[in-house]
Structure 1
Amino acid sequence: MTAHAQTAHKITITPLDEKVAVLEDVPRESQYGLKFVGAAIASPATATEAGYAACTVSLTGRGVDGNAAAAPGAQGSAFWSIGIEMARKEGVLSLMGGLSASMVRELVYSGIRMGTYEYFKDKLHAISKGALSREGLLLKIGAASIAATIGSALANPADLVKVRMQAYYPDGSPYRNMRHAFASIYREGATLAASRGASVLAGGLGALYRGVEATTIRGIVLSATQICSYDQIKQSLKKRGMMQEGVPLHLVASTFAGLFCSITSNPVDVVKVRLMNDKKHEYKGTFDCVRQILVKEGPFGFYKGFGMCWARLGTHTILTFLIFERIRYLFGIEAM
């Protein structure tokens, strides 16, 4: 075999359930692209497989209109009670409201935040000339924050439509489908802007981007705890020789990551959902919403529906990382 042939087929052996050959000569740019595709596939797949109905019940339990949430311990506040009640009154399909919008949102949001995380890690490490260590949390948090900011901002319209379609409407949902929901929300904003002599286009887009501040903050908080904790836990367990790369390691790391991100993101989720469903414009903005919840409901108001959040986000986190790692393996890319 020639020297050229030997270098062209240079491989590394990586343990992942069984030993797998991973090509080293795949261009780095192609790897970034494949990672994005893998994340984009993994997250929408999880949205359907990880109990999408739990997300709808979770939002209902938090009180998407700001008033509907039952107090902790009150009748109907339990996760299963709310789900059964919704299915009984509105039909089983009510638990799947906004699924199409959720798929679009996940494709954009999680595809970007997870798919570009390692790209920004590499860039920040290069820019800092190694001052930001690859083993340190600062590099991970910085990369996750940048990726989440971009993903959250771009996905806000789909996120808002998803929340609106999941909301409880006593007289039936005003939205026939995702497309109708987008058009209706845009029209509401455009009509309001026209009545005030403002730009119709700005009003329509403003309606679709309502709550974008809370959405972006939530994306950063969630990603900084979810992705970074998964990355850090995996790294620590492997470094100490406690576990090797493979499904058991992915399961342990993603389980802890799901708990951590549920704890940190639940308060922001409550604020975001309240703002997105504030059709009467009772809140002046994100900080006013935070102030009103704190004054009227106290600190625990930010943790309404935590059990539901953990059931949804914890499961979603575990399956997302398991699927993402498996897709990377099939693509011939090293584990995260």
Structure 2
Amino acid sequence: MSTLKDAKVVHTSVANEHEPKENGHSPFTQNALIFTAAALGNMFASAITNPLDIIKVRQQLKTQGSPHPLAAPGAKANAFWSVGLQMARTEGLMSLMNGLTASMLRELTYSGIRMGTYEYFKGSIHGLAPSALPTDGLTLKVFAASVAATLGSAVANPTDLVKVRMQAYYPTGPPYRSTRHAFASVWREGGLRALYRGTDATTIRGVVLSVSQICAYDQLKQSLKRRGAMQEGLGLHFTASMFAGFICSVTSNPVDVVKVRVMNDKERRYKSVLDCVRTILRQEGPMAFYKGFSMCWARLGAHTVLCFVAFERIRSLFGIAPM
């Protein structure tokens, strides 16, 4: 009798492990709701961290030797507090919210795709080689995050470029009246090609960021639950996202510096992404790739915690199981 009871418990446990996450939703509806939750969670996080993001961009645009014309007005120091205070004094406090609309559009497309399709690609890739790519393996997670990030970066590059342009400093005042005007101005520079300037850097950065952020979060959650250290809930979401935020800040900052420089290169100083990397190394040294790191960590760390906590909460409201 006891044996039958134990067997039933084991069977139930296995069944629950492989139970579909749809909770009554069709696969299409489930994927659409996950995309929506990812987009909303990231838009929420970006709205709160926009001041940190713009200070990071200004720091990354500052070149060695003399202040970059689009970096920070007259400030010799490049510390985040110095850049922030200088912006507030010379451009007004609301300058810290520059590019917010473009940032929201970017999160809707880029983050909606890279985070919202991660589980879809994870399931699809697992189906191609179930024995070689187990669902709890890191390799499957890396593949899924890479595909989702590549797709998201390719689609969202124009919004990312416009956001960077709107967040840069201009001595004669902001040249863009609105996000729409910024898109039109970039289009006049060279059409679709101008809007997709820096796509290679954006894609590399997107893959590096997503692999280190999403995979770290997924893997840490899985490990903590498997070892019985934590159970599903806010505490687990917060802890996993805190570690994921630091990891992705370390890995993505060098690529982010290059991406920002290339996207804001109106004078065409850089022939390519590789040329930009060589120029930075030659003129500023390897540590230049970590310009703005403290602000990158503050912004990306906070963004990671906020977006994953919001993402999981919105999923719950939609009746979808946690990630």
TM-score normalized by structure 1?
A: 0.86
**Which residue of structure 2 lines up, in the alignment, with residue 241 of structure 1?**
228
**1:279-318 maps to which residues of 2 (within 5 A)?**
279-318=266-305
Is the CA contact 1:124–1:143 (under 8 Å) kept in the aligned structure 2?
yes
**Which residue of structure 2 lines up, in the alignment, with residue 135 of structure 1?**
136
**Which residue of structure 2 lines up, in the alignment, with residue 222 of structure 1?**
209
**Which residue of structure 2 lines up, in the alignment, with residue 146 of structure 1?**
147
Runs of 5+ consecutive residues of structure 2 not aligned to the other structure: 1-15
Shift of 1:28: 2.6
Percent identity, please.
60
**Which residue of structure 2 lines up, in the alignment, with residue 63 of structure 1?**
61
Is the CA contact 2:22–2:30 (under 8 Å) kept in the aligned structure 1?
no
Paired residue for 2:51, among 40, 50, 53?
A: 53
Alpha-carbon distance in structure 1 between the residues aligned to 2:317 and 2:62? 40
RMSD: 1.7
**Which residue of structure 1 lines up, in the alignment, with residue 24 of structure 2?**
25
Shift of 1:65: 7.2
Alpha-carbon distance in structure 2 between the residues aligned to 1:324 and 1:39? 6
Is the CA contact 2:280–2:288 (under 8 Å) kept in the aligned structure 1?
yes
Shift of 1:68: 3.4
Alpha-carbon distance in structure 1 between the residues aligned to 2:291 and 2:224? 33
Shift of 1:23: 6.9
Is the CA contact 2:154–2:199 (under 8 Å) kept in the aligned structure 1?
yes
Is the CA contact 1:105–1:155 (under 8 Å) kept in the aligned structure 2?
yes
Amino acid at match of 1:233: L
Is the CA contact 1:65–1:277 (under 8 Å) kept in the aligned structure 2?
no
Alpha-carbon distance in structure 2 between the residues aligned to 1:240 and 1:75? 50
Is the CA contact 2:54–2:167 (under 8 Å) kept in the aligned structure 1?
yes
Residues matched between the structures, number: 298
**Which residue of structure 2 lines up, in the alignment, with residue 334 of structure 1?**
321
Alpha-carbon distance in structure 1 between the residues aligned to 2:22 and 2:88? 50
Alpha-carbon distance in structure 2 between the residues aligned to 1:215 and 1:25? 37
**1:1-336 maps to which residues of 2 (within 5 A)?**
24-49=23-48, 51-63=49-61, 68=67, 75-189=76-190, 204-336=191-323
Amino acid at match of 2:45: T
Runs of 5+ consecutive residues of structure 1 not aligned to the other structure: 1-13, 15-21, 190-203
Is the CA contact 1:65–1:274 (under 8 Å) kept in the aligned structure 2?
no
**Which residue of structure 2 lines up, in the alignment, with residue 193 of structure 1?**
none
Alpha-carbon distance in structure 2 between the residues aligned to 1:65 and 1:75? 11
Shift of 1:26: 2.7
Amino acid at match of 1:32: N
Shift of 1:52: 0.8
User: In terms of mean alpha carbon deviation, does 129-138 or 259-268 score higher?
Assistant: 129-138
Amino acid at match of 1:241: G
Alpha-carbon distance in structure 2 between the residues aligned to 1:47 and 1:29? 27
TM-score normalized by structure 2?
A: 0.89
Alpha-carbon distance in structure 2 between the residues aligned to 1:160 and 1:174? 15
Is the CA contact 1:62–1:68 (under 8 Å) kept in the aligned structure 2?
no
Is the CA contact 1:65–1:278 (under 8 Å) kept in the aligned structure 2?
no
Is the CA contact 1:185–1:208 (under 8 Å) kept in the aligned structure 2?
yes
Alpha-carbon distance in structure 1 between the residues aligned to 2:150 and 2:234? 29
